[in-house]
Structure 1
Amino acid sequence: MKKKILASLVATMAVGATCAFAANPFVDVPTDSWAYKSVVELADAGVIQGVDGTYFQGNRNITRYEAAEMTAKAMAHMDKASVEQRAMINKLADEYADELNSLGVRVSNLEQKVGNVKMTGDFRIRYKHQSDAFTRNGGNNVSSDQFQYRMRLRANAYINDKTKAVLGVSTNNKTFFDGDNTTAADKDTNSIFVDDAYVTSDLTKNFNVKAGRWDFYNLGNGLGLQYGDVFEAMQGQYKLGNFTLTGGFGEFKEGAGYTGYYKDGDGNIVYNNNTFNHTTPITTTTPNGVTTNTHSLVGVQTGYGEIEGAFNKVGFGVYYNAFNDSVAKTQNLSKIIGGYAKFQLGNQWNLIGDYQKVKKQTTSATDDDANLWGAKLSYGAAAFNKTGSWDAWLEYINADPNALYGSTNSWRQANLLDNVKSWGVGVDYTIGKNVMFSVMQSFASSLKDSSYGTKDPNEETRAQFVFVF
């Protein structure tokens, strides 16, 4: 215990010390003591207070509760710590997890007093395989494999106990091992962008407001099949007992255009994923003469509202998104109405179902109203802070043609979300603290409406590592 506490003091001293010449606050620590400089720096940083603010009592054994308080203060300085110091503080956090939890709001208060800006982030590296699914070198070649990485950094500024500002940047998904002869400097031009820039504040105990840009807007808070990406909005949220009411107005800022078709080696159009000017949709004609527009949510504005409820082991939500701006009309999109339900089945099993009705501005034989729904059954719960934790899941997707508009939050490639019926399985495993490995596989995938295509989509395999810090 003494060794761990000493390590904690050394780590927090290096992290949180602010002035080596501060006045000595303890009468029982002489200036010629070997520990004088360290004790003064720790006291000046607010990590230790001594006894009654007057005596250090260095020979006294401290309690686990006092050690937890020191650890909490060291955690507040994590953004200034080295890799070794972070590792030590993380070990101490594990050691005193129960005491830290018992501190509750008090830990939050300590963090805001000692350091009000906290840096976080994540790094993801993944492999994807799907035959005839991915283009590279400007679309000249077709590859069944892709390797990608993405890194994100977050600065969380605690303005006061009710208000927080977040600024974040992301590299987005960067493909490597792609056979492209473009230099790294040329290829990465303008690749890093701001995906978080917002302020959130609790105006009252039950009412919260949020404004700016955030990296994740899950349309409907269900499975996120339709959209789960960068969004700019002004939003209000009110909590009343077991119910939460959310409403706002915003604009979608990320997402590829989807038609559900791709030209395979035989000339059959099965799937097409185009980057295009969202105000001028691309028209695609299939081999059997069906013509359809490429759809996207980029630049589309929406007014939205949602009512959610949570009761013991059951949760649900109903939501409504209206699209009436000129860009939405160009995309032939009028509104999306949907709902989800969640069920906790015992201690380990969870089930969620999500349904959406996509209403068009003008219906036609090639772009009619569409239904999109899915369900996911999972067992266990993988957590980044718990080594050895894991979960496994099974999902089913059923989508009409032209149902998909945005940058999905699903792990699947777009052609496994539009005009398909498909199953999927996956496993998530925390191999070490803050490191998770996941693998996913689709199976039994087929076109839902064969008049919109001539070939069932190929199955997709993914594997990835995610590191958080």
Structure 2
Amino acid sequence: MKKTLVSALTTALVVGAASTTFAAANPFSDVPADHWAYDAVSQLAADGVIEGYGDTTFRGNQNITRYEMAQMIAKAMAKTDVSAADKALIDKLAAEFSDELGNLGVRVSNLERNADMVKWNGLVEYTYTSTRHDTNTSKKVKNNDDDLVFRLEPKAEVNKNWDVHARLDADIKLDSDKGHDGTVDLKRVWAEGHYDNFNVKLGKLPNAINLISTTDDPYSGAAVTFGKDFKVTLEGGRLDATQFGDMGRNMDGLLPSNSNDVFKKGDDTVNFQAINLGYAKNKFYGNAGYEHMDGATLVANSLPKAYNNDYKAGKDSEYKANIWFVNAGYRFDHNSFFKAEYAQNTEADNYDNAYSFEYDYKGAQQQNKGSWGMYLAYRNLGQYAAPWSTYGDGVDGGQKGIEVGTGYTLFKNVQLFAKYFNGKDIAADKDAEKLFGRVDVFF
């Protein structure tokens, strides 16, 4: 399936939208910003049923507590002049947050409360990616990928304080019509407990500290979060280090042929610990934290000396990372949001820092047909400070440059995404480009 970069860009911008860059800005809360309730409340806000936080804003880019979400739902339940579609959304939200509504003195029928103890959400996702790298020769390296993902995300309620979450993915490479031997991968499974201003997760779980330097893959372990406006999050467990294989970009900007070129087979997991201090109130949020990883074995000469001080030519060495990070964001009004991030790996001798500046305008809401958003960002992701960045759909680890994106909700539960990156592979100091297009169909 061959396409030129120009024709692919034209196609993606016609159907595209801005992917996950509008995701959670403040991860220290009970309700993640990609929860379906956000789109439901955004739709109710767009229809004038609720007014958000009381300052005429709904901070859909930030995580909030379940209590705050219940307050919004309670206001919506008090309305009588709502459409049938909005009433259905309110009923669904009331069932999800029935315990918190009960604490507010809002009664929810037992039928609503006990309905659908196991909830199923999911999506079908098509992604097209085209990358180009200049090299030290006259040859340009190009790569196009067409991927299709079918995803299920069940949630089962155990009791009023505990529930169980999972995520299952089936991937197909459309350019070769091949999947992973027809298998479905269990990507995540964890139990989660909610107790007022305390939250705990156990299992194979997503990172609660979802910042510039953090791995985009889940880890096996535990996470606890406590606090209200000021929150503390602690994480610990084991992490698959093979995802960091792209740290080995050579001077042509190319990746190793596979992760075994970097990590020793059978010794390719790391110990992982992290702490984050976060504050969010009104239109501002800020975070500061630290991540430590060690344990995997780097194959001799697989990475340049720039990696860390334990490097010795011709000998295996231990993977280590001590990454400090800060970020902050501010919402100017209902449409405009700005955030900045910085991270540094004190174990690395080079490519040891990463930073990002991003401006968002509006945002595509899953439930709101015709809603749209766009963003402009500059990112410099030193590969040892951002070994597997959450921004990998656009600027990747080991790259720097400008990224733009746009988003559009074509129909309810059908969203279109596009991004374009233009910059350099940092180590190679050569030009690089990436075009990213995605279509998500939610159910």
Alignment TM-score, normalising by the size of structure 2? 0.66
**3-state SS of the aligned residue for 2:173?**
strand
The reply to whether residue 412 of structure 1 matches residue 393 of structure 2 is yes
The aligned runs of 1:40-439 (5 Å cut-off) are 92-97=84-89, 105=98, 110-132=111-133, 143-172=142-171, 174-178=172-176, 184=178, 187-189=179-181, 191-202=183-194, 204-214=195-205, 216-217=206-207, 220-222=209-211, 224=212, 226-239=214-227, 241-253=228-240, 255-259=243-247, 261=249, 269-277=252-260, 280=263, 299-327=269-297, 330=317, 332-360=319-347, 367-368=349-350, 370-400=352-382, 402-406=384-388, 408-412=389-393, 416-439=395-418
Q: Take 1:115 and 1:132, find their aligned partners in 2: how far apart are those partners? A: 49
Taking only aligned residues, the RMSD between alpha carbons, in angstroms, comes to 3.1
Matches of 2:366 and 2:269, distance apart in 1? 34
Q: CA deviation at 1:402?
A: 3.8
Which whole-Å CA distance do the structure 2 matches of 1:405 and 1:317 have between them? Answer: 20
Confirm or deny: 8 A CA contact 1:421 1:446 kept in the other structure: yes
Q: The residue matched to 2:207 in structure 1 has which SS?
A: strand
Match for 1:120: what amino acid?
N
Inter-partner Cα distance in structure 2 for 1:221 and 1:384: 21
Paired amino acid for 1:176: L
**CA distance, structure 1, for counterparts of residue 108 and residue 373 of structure 2:** 30
**Letter paired with 1:343:** Y
Question: 1:336, CA displacement in angstroms?
Answer: 0.9
Task: Give the Cα–Cα distance (whole angstroms) in 2 for the partners of residues 433 and 197 of structure 1.
Answer: 28
Q: Deviations over 1:403-443 (max 9, x none)?
A: 3423x322436xx4344330011111111111100111112
1:446 lines up with 2:424 in the alignment = yes
The code of the aligned residue for 1:392 comes to M
Residue 59 of structure 2 aligns with which residue?
none
C-alpha deviation, 1:190, in angstroms: 6.6
**C-alpha spacing 1:421/1:168, structure 2 compared with 1 (3 Å):** closer
Instruction: Call closer, same or farther: CA 1:236–1:259 in 2, change over 3 Å.
Output: closer
- 2:80 corresponds to: none
1:217 alignment partner AA: N
**Offset from partner CA, 1:163-191 (integer Å, 9 cap, x none):** 1012321125x32214xxxx84xx53274
Contact 1:357 1:369 (C-alpha < 8 Å) held by counterparts: no
CA 1:259–1:355: 2 relative to 1, 3 Å: same
Q: Aligned pair in 2 of structure 1 residues 142, 396: CA closer, same or farther (>3 Å)? A: closer
* Amino acid of the structure 2 residue aligned with 1:175: K
- Percent of paired sites with the same residue: 19
1:338: how far off?
A: 0.4
Contact 1:258 1:274 in 2 (8 A): no
Alignment partners' CA distance in 2, 1:372 and 1:143: 25
Larger radius of gyration: 1
User: Aligned-pair distance for 1:193?
Assistant: 1.3
CA contact (8 A) 2:249 2:398 kept: no
Check whether the contact 2:380–2:400 (CA below 8 A) recurs between aligned residues. Answer: yes
Label 1:412 to 1:156 Cα distance change in 2 as closer, same or farther (>3 A): closer
- CA–CA separation in structure 2 for the residues paired with 1:368 and 1:143: 27
Tell me, in whole angstroms, the C-alpha distance in 1 between the residues paired with 2:149 and 2:92: 32
- Equivalent-residue separation in structure 1 for 2:148 and 2:261 (angstroms): 26
- Note if 1:467 corresponds to 2:441: yes
Answer yes or no: is the 8 Å Cα contact 2:245–2:262 preserved in 1.
no
**Alignment match, 2:431:** 456
The structural deviation recorded for 1:270 is: 2.1
Listed as ranges, the gaps of 5+ residues in structure 1 are 1-90, 134-140, 263-267, 283-296
Q: Quick check: 1:260–1:402 contact (8 Å CA) kept in 2?
A: no
Check whether the contact 1:170–1:194 (CA below 8 A) recurs between aligned residues: yes
Residues 463 and 177 of structure 1: is their aligned pair in 2 closer, same or farther, counting only changes over 3 Å?
same
CA distance in 1, matches of 2:235, 2:126: 34
Alignment partners' CA distance in 1, 2:93 and 2:190: 28
Distance in structure 2 (CA, Å) of the matches to 1:421 and 1:352: 17
Instruction: Label 1:370 to 1:280 Cα distance change in 2 as closer, same or farther (>3 A).
Output: same
Q: Residue 278 and residue 390 in structure 1: after superposition, are their counterparts in 2 closer, same or farther (change >3 A)?
A: same
Give the SS at the match of 2:321. strand
Query: Do the aligned partners of residues 205 and 368 (structure 1) sit closer, same or farther apart at CA in structure 2, a change above 3 Å counting?
Result: same
Question: What amino acid is aligned across from residue 432 of structure 1 in structure 2?
Answer: F
Spell out, residue by residue over 1:252-288, the C-alpha distance to the aligned partner (whole angstroms, 9 max, x if none): 23725113636xxxxx722214422388359xxxxxx
Distance 2:108 2:122 in 1: 21
> What is the TM-score of this pair, normalised by structure 1?
0.63
Q: Counterpart of 2:35? A: none
**Shift in Å, 1:453:** 1.8
Task: Give me the whole-angstrom Cα distance separating, in 2, the residues matched to 1:255 and 1:419.
Answer: 14
How far did residue 356 of structure 1 move? 0.8
Distance 1:108 1:227, change over 3 A: farther
Q: Distance in 2 between matches of 1:313 and 1:124?
A: 32
Counterpart amino acid of residue 190 in structure 2 = Y
